[in-house]
């Protein structure tokens, strides 16, 4: 489940391009990508990372101690639907909510110039039946939006980077 290290490195590099940025990770897991993203942040940036699985979140909070990061244990579907705070400069959408579900709502949370990043877009032998169709559908949705500038990288696990116009 944890992100590929090449992806993590890319996340850190892109994170460093947003000084004083507001960052969001949907799907903390054990915090691997969280710590990579955090290592690209400057002192004035902040990162919210959310996951609904307590056992995984416990690993992340045990090993990551950084006042710039707010960990939220909760359902990202509810969190996205109820969010009324400031927009983000960087969203790593690494869970169903924010990626295959509530996509539009998540893109609405992006500032102009903000990054929306997803991984795991290249076919894998362990994909469940029908997942390739979901990937195609999401890829088209990203490409079709006039307010996003999108690049697809056939690298690492398959990355899509979109910037909000």
Ligand X SMILES: C[S@@+](CC[C@H](N)C(=O)[O-])C[C@H]1O[C@@H](n2cnc3c(N)ncnc32)[C@H](O)[C@@H]1O
Q: Does 27 bind ligand X (CB under 6 A)?
A: yes
Q: Would you call 163 helix, strand, or coil by DSSP?
A: strand
Residue carrying structure tokens 């950084």: 66
Residue 101 Cβ vs ligand X, minimum distance, rounded to whole Å = 8
The secondary structure of 125-141 as a DSSP string is TTPPTTHHHHHHHHHHH
- Min dist CB 165 to ligand X, Å, is 26
Q: Please report whether residue 40 would count as binding ligand X according to CB under 6 A.
A: no
User: Binding of ligand X at residue 50 (CB under 6 A)?
Assistant: yes
**Structural contact between residues 71 and 56, judged by C-beta atoms closer than 8 angstroms:** no
Stretch 68-97 residues interacting with ligand X (CB under 6 A) = 75-77, 94-97
Query: If DSSP codes are grouped into helix, strand and coil, which group holds residue 8?
Result: helix
- The contact set with ligand X (CB under 6 A) reads 1-3, 27, 29-30, 32-33, 50-53, 56, 75-77, 94-97
């Amino acid at each position: 489940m944890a992100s590929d290290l090449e992806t993590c490195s890319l996340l850190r590099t892109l994170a460093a391009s947003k000084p004083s940025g507001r960052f969001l990770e949907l799907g903390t897991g054990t915090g691997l990508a969280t710590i990579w993203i955090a290592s690209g942040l400057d002192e004035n940036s902040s990162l919210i990372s959310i996951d609904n699985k307590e056992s995984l979140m416990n690993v992340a909070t045990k090993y990551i101690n950084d006042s710039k990061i707010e960990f939220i244990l909760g359902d990202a579907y509810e969190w996205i639907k109820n969010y009324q705070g400031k927009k983000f400069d960087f969203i790593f959408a690494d869970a169903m909510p924010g990626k295959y579900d509530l996509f539009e709502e998540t893109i609405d949370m992006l500032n102009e110039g903000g990054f929306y990043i997803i991984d795991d877009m290249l076919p894998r032998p362990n994909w469940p039946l029908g997942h390739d169709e979901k990937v195609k559908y999401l890829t088209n949705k990203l490409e079709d939006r006039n307010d996003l500038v999108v690049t697809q990288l056939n690298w690492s696990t398959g990355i899509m980077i979109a910037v909000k116009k």
